[in-house]
Amino acid sequence: MFTKILIANRGEIACRVIATAQKLGIQTVAVYSEADKEARHVQLADEAVWLGPAPSRESYLVAEKIIAAAKVTGAQAIHPGYGFLSENAEFSKRCEEEGIAFIGPRHFSIAAMGDKIESKKLAGAAGVNCIPGVNDAIETPDKAVEIAKSIGYPVMIKASAGGGGKGLRVAFNDKEAFEGFTSCRNEARNSFGDDRVFIEKFVEEPRHIEIQVLGDSHGNVVYLNERECSIQRRHQKVIEEAPSPFISEATRKAMGEQAVQLAKAVKYQSAGTVEFVVGKDQSFYFLEMNTRLQVEHPVTEAITGLDLVEQMIRVAAGEKLSFGQADVKRDGWAIECRINAEDPFRNFLPSTGRLVRFQTPKQTMFQGNVQDLYGVRVDTGVQDGGEIPMFYDSMIAKLIVHGKDRHEAIAKMREALNGFVIRGINSNIPFQAALLAHPRFVSGDFNTGFIAEQYSQGFRAEDVPHDDHDFLAALAAFVRRKSRERAAGLSGQLPGYDVQVGQDYAVVELGKEGNNRYVPVHVDELAGKHGEARITVNGKTYAIASNSRLNDIRIVGTCNGQPFTAQIERGTLKNPLALQVQHNGTRIEALVMSPRMAELHKLMPYKAPPDLSKFVLSPMPGLLVEVSVTPGQKVQAGERVAVIEAMKMENVLFAAADGVVKKVVASKGESLTVDQMIVEFE
């Protein structure tokens, strides 16, 4: 067994590998860029080596620097994590040549699976289901119908040079195949100047389901069940679970056995994942193989009781797998939510900056520990007060829960999200909460098109329906009432000017453009019961009890005997006197006042925000990589104005209306904050 390993990665996956290494008594070496010198993975490791500037191409992607760091620290092995160099066959080979063990598959396995076309040929030769189709250009509509019938309807007719939905048709019968072929050819010729057309099987209501495999250097390979990864936004996974609520035992076994056949065909050693697309009739076809540890590996760890990072290290050290296929367990149900630094209410724009508050829900499961299951686990590479840099991906943390069944796992996840405090930047927690409450998700009736179908207009606050909206008003009144009680108990108050607690309040929910909601609330005193109150809202009674302190950002208690966790923040952007109440993904900003004050508040005129139509503002923090206009230039609506780079994504800003550029305020290479002015129009 190794005595020291280097982790060629950053963030949560670096911290994850360190946890298992510590359990095995192995020393760890972290590597870091300029942006990560204060990062959590650097603090957790036994040693750390600086790689270079913040951009990954100058640090985490430079193989020479990482190999040099391993040599200088005496690390016998390198774990690449995921991303960066993890699926780089050349890097794996270099490690081998330098006498350093690569904690992952051999370079020839990575290379074999790295080419999409070649990997499908290999998979087909290994007896793995591949999507039926004809990859040679088809000449006539009659030939198209003949091929479509041989494949079996429905089929997808698509242009070789297609894109943007052009040159693509789905046919369910001979007539549609005949007409679709002709339309595709014409569209392809007119749009791309290339009229070659192909046909392949169309998978209806496709689901993305992947099989985790594990192989050793002695020819043993097992599959560790499947993960359901169909909840995706723009091909990025959002929620993953194990097992899948969809496939049958027979399908699971068939997929698992085919994944093992493919792994054996490429002499696979280490942990890997074979991805399949699965149709509504449970037909399944090979997509690709990921020759690394997956982001969503914790859900497999929860249901199997296996530490996958430990297995990778043991395999790399030459050990045999200590169990066979019959020993692989499938206990309970696990779900993982990816918590990303992005604003779901602003089209998921990246959100970088300082984590003013970062408090995870209470953890009962931990990285590297597969003894304490059936609880909550958080994998993260950040901490309270840390910085989310703009140079890397947007994932802040992974929240994992393990329940007896799917219903319990969903309930645990919803409650864990309620207790996950992130302040200073925006996160996708409200979006995750909405997905978990969606009837189709709860029933397991979804496919890869789920998010695009259900949120086709983007994600809005009203897309997060609360089970009981009045509970939020009751909670605001409860917190305000306890605050008044405390103030009334302070000594030294002048007679006649002392704080009156009162029983009747009005909760004013602050809405858009002054459309506020006024809710009358009555609070009954519960004599001698500290931290308890009975609150009546719209004829409903809420008996709330909580021992949380008034300055706690998270409030834990019971409502009508049922436990709850919610977040309360004092002072908001709209109003420094307001309370922000957040529960089950729904967030309200509310003023709690006397009924008379509420009457007067209704008479207050609405102050409209300033007109910003003459300015182009940065919608997020990021690096200004391009300014496409100059002072005096005439610009038309929709014309490119600037490009901002954040979290490995380029975001192009366009002019909202015709105009003439008055001045360019920000310059290329500048780091921008949210709403910082870039261009002003006359």
Amino acid 174: pLDDT = 95
For residues 220 and 196, membership in a common domain is answered with: no
Which tokens go with 552? Answer: 């706690």
Q: Output the domain CATH number for residue 515.
A: 3.30.700.30
Rounded average pLDDT over 482-492: 79
Q: How confident is the model at residue 556 (pLDDT cuts 50, 70, 90)?
A: very high
Has residue 126 been placed in a domain?
no
Q: Please identify which residue in the block is written with the tokens 């919610």.
A: 566
pTM, 2 dp: 0.87
Determine phi and psi for 624, rounding to 5 degrees.
-80, 105
Q: Tell me what percent of the residues of the chain surpass a pLDDT of 70.
A: 98
- CA 159-165-171 angle, 5° bins: 65
Q: Provide the domain limits for residue 22.
A: 4-103
Amino acid 286: pLDDT = 94
Q: How confident is the model at residue 612 (pLDDT cuts 50, 70, 90)?
A: confident
Has residue 512 been placed in a domain?
yes
Q: Active site residue: 58, 179, 288, 485, which one?
A: 288
Q: Output the domain CATH number for residue 144.
A: 3.30.1490.20
How high is the mean pLDDT of the chain?
Answer: 91
For residues 223 and 180, membership in a common domain is answered with: no
Q: Output the domain CATH number for residue 645.
A: 2.40.50.100
Amino acid 142: pLDDT = 94
- Of 466 and 134, the one with more pLDDT: 466
For residues 285 and 378, membership in a common domain is answered with: yes
Q: How confident is the model at residue 135 (pLDDT cuts 50, 70, 90)?
A: low
Has residue 257 been placed in a domain?
yes
For residues 522 and 659, membership in a common domain is answered with: no
Q: Is the pLDDT of residue 317 over 60?
A: yes
For residues 158 and 301, membership in a common domain is answered with: no
For residues 97 and 149, membership in a common domain is answered with: no
Amino acid 19: pLDDT = 98
- Of 412 and 571, the one with more pLDDT: 412
Amino acid 117: pLDDT = 65
Amino acid 501: pLDDT = 77
Has residue 493 been placed in a domain?
no
Return the minimum-mean-pLDDT range out of 12-26, 105-119, 314-328.
105-119
- CA 195-199-205 angle, 5° bins: 125
Q: What b/e sequence results for 254-266 when a residue is b if at least 16 CB atoms lie within 10 Å of its CB, and e otherwise?
A: ebbebbbbbbebb
Amino acid 648: pLDDT = 67
Has residue 464 been placed in a domain?
no
Q: How many CA atoms lie within 13 A of 72 on its CB side?
A: 14
> Which residues partner with 554 through β-bridges?
567
Asked whether 619 and 674 are in contact (CB, 8 A), the reply is yes
Rounded average pLDDT over 494-522: 86
> Which residues partner with 288 through β-bridges?
275
d(CA 280, CA 287): 16
Q: Is the pLDDT of residue 164 over 60?
A: no
For residues 505 and 435, membership in a common domain is answered with: no
Asked whether 623 and 589 are in contact (CB, 8 A), the reply is no
Amino acid 528: pLDDT = 62
Q: Output the domain CATH number for residue 55.
A: 3.40.50.20
Rounded average pLDDT over 205-234: 96
Q: How confident is the model at residue 503 (pLDDT cuts 50, 70, 90)?
A: confident
For residues 323 and 375, membership in a common domain is answered with: yes
Has residue 424 been placed in a domain?
yes
Q: Which of 116-120, 164-168, 530-534 has the highest mean pLDDT?
A: 530-534
Domain boundary among 201, 219, 237: 201
- Please say whether the dihedral angle defined by the alpha carbons of residues 311, 312, 314 and 318, taken in this order, is positive or negative: positive
Has residue 174 been placed in a domain?
yes
Q: Helix and strand tally (H, E) in the chain?
A: 17, 39
Strands 47-52 and 27-33: parallel
For residues 422 and 287, membership in a common domain is answered with: yes
Has residue 573 been placed in a domain?
yes
Amino acid 166: pLDDT = 67
For residues 215 and 97, membership in a common domain is answered with: no
Amino acid 194: pLDDT = 79
Domain boundary among 578, 602, 626: 602
For residues 324 and 232, membership in a common domain is answered with: yes
Return the minimum-mean-pLDDT range out of 387-391, 395-399, 658-662.
387-391
Q: How confident is the model at residue 134 (pLDDT cuts 50, 70, 90)?
A: confident
Amino acid 116: pLDDT = 67
Q: Where are the beta strands (DSSP E) in 164-269?
A: 166-171, 197-201, 207-215, 221-233, 236-242
d(CA 43, CA 37): 9
Rounded average pLDDT over 431-460: 94
pLDDT digit string (tens) for 34-51? 999 999 999 999 999 999
Q: Output the domain CATH number for residue 401.
A: 3.30.470.20
pLDDT digit string (tens) for 54-66? 999 999 999 999 9
pLDDT digit string (tens) for 271-290? 999 999 999 999 999 988 99
Residue 190: strand, helix, or coil = helix
Domain count across the chain: 5
Asked whether 638 and 607 are in contact (CB, 8 A), the reply is no
pLDDT digit string (tens) for 245-265? 999 999 999 999 999 999 999
Amino acid 186: pLDDT = 85
Which among 604, 410, 575, 561 is positioned nearest to 476, based on CA atoms? 575
pLDDT digit string (tens) for 73-120? 999 999 999 989 999 999 999 999 999 999 999 999 999 998 766 888
Domain boundary among 602, 630, 652: 602
For residues 442 and 482, membership in a common domain is answered with: no
Could you confirm whether 288 is annotated as catalytic?
yes
Amino acid 353: pLDDT = 84
